[in-house]
Amino acid sequence: MGFIGYDVNKYTPRQMVMIPMVILILSLAILGYNMATIGMPVRPGIDFSGGTAVTLFTTDTPEQLENAFPGYPLLSVGEGVNNGKYLKFGPMDDASLQSLASLISARYPDAKIDQIGASFGQTLQQQAFVALIISFIGMTVVVFLAFRTFVPAAAVVLSAFADIVMTAAGMSLVGIDLSLPTTAALLMLIGYSVDSDILLTMRVLKRQGKLEEKLSGAFKTGIIMTTTTIAAVAAMWVVAFAGQITVIWEIATVLLIGLFIDMMNTWLTNAGIIKWFVLKGGGK
């Protein structure tokens, strides 16, 4: 817990926001590159792009399964408990899909085959995008109504935006697809980001005392809250990884990335802006 003793007051506002802004620019560049190459900021999973998911139980290794389906768009082979395997195939025409289903049924009679059509995946993609936009707009409105001052409210919104952009870039770097579960994780991050940022802003602007003392007090409380949450999510990540529960592991990974990023944006980006605002006399 040595990080709790870190002196948040020893840096100027410009020094505090410099590193997060550089990372934000790099993250936007990564998402922009993805948009230019694949048409989405983060590579979509079969939930959004369409495809076929196959769940089966076999002692075959992932390499053997990859060799068992030549000519089919096999995207990945995941492993679960009790020799469970989870195969993801990309979109196929009806003839290829029927051929694949026949091949799987012949080799693995107990296999479960789920298909998501490309048009249905596109609909889910649009609905998830709308949910993210509505959540962000709702958060923005509530924050501006709560503070009724542009700079503190804008700092909270900027930090939340940076959290989502940087987390999405992190997902792209570690190879996690954008799916319904990971979209839910991003929505949770919006709420957590606003919670930690409002804690900081309320402590600094609404309480009496010296700026340095208020920043230090808010920092200690916020770090304890965040590290406790990180510990809980890390435990979930370990259990999901050990049990090879892919969906839970992906959600936990996105949350861990987002929580570490939120720690940076709250205590560098938001704290730097609030510190500048108060030093300029805006907090009076």
How do residues 135-165 score in pLDDT, each as one tens digit? 888 888 888 888 888 898 999 999 999 999 9
Architecture, CATH, for domain 2-43+119-279: Up-down Bundle (1.20)
Instruction: Give pLDDT tens digits for 169-222.
Output: 999 999 898 888 899 899 889 888 888 888 888 888 887 888 888 888 888 888
Distance CA 39, CA 45 (A): 13
C-alpha Rg value of the chain to the nearest Å: 23
Could you give the CA distance from residue 132 to residue 112 in angstroms, rounded to a whole number?
31
What is the distance between the alpha carbons of residues 46 and 115, in angstroms, rounded to a whole number?
A: 9
Domain ranges of the chain: 2-43+119-279, 51-116
With pLDDT > 90 as the criterion, what percentage of the chain qualifies?
Answer: 30
The band of 1, judged by pLDDT with boundaries at 50, 70 and 90, is: very low
Rounded distance between C-alpha atoms, residue 215 and residue 271, angstroms: 8
Q: Is the per-residue pLDDT at 275 higher than 70?
A: yes
**Hey, which CATH number is domain 51-116, 3.40.640.10, 3.30.70.260, 3.40.50.150, 3.30.450.40?**
3.30.70.260
Per-residue burial over 206-215, b = 16 or more CB atoms within 10 Å of its CB, e = otherwise = eeeeeeeebb
Contact 207, 223 (CB under 8 A): no
Run of H or E including 112: strand 112-116
Question: Rounded to an integer, what distance in angstroms lies between the CA atom of residue 54 and that of residue 157?
Answer: 41
Alpha carbon distance 62, 74 (integer Å): 11
Task: List the single range of 4-13, 224-233, 256-265 with lowest mean pLDDT.
Answer: 4-13
HSE of 198, CA atoms in CB hemisphere, 13 A: 14
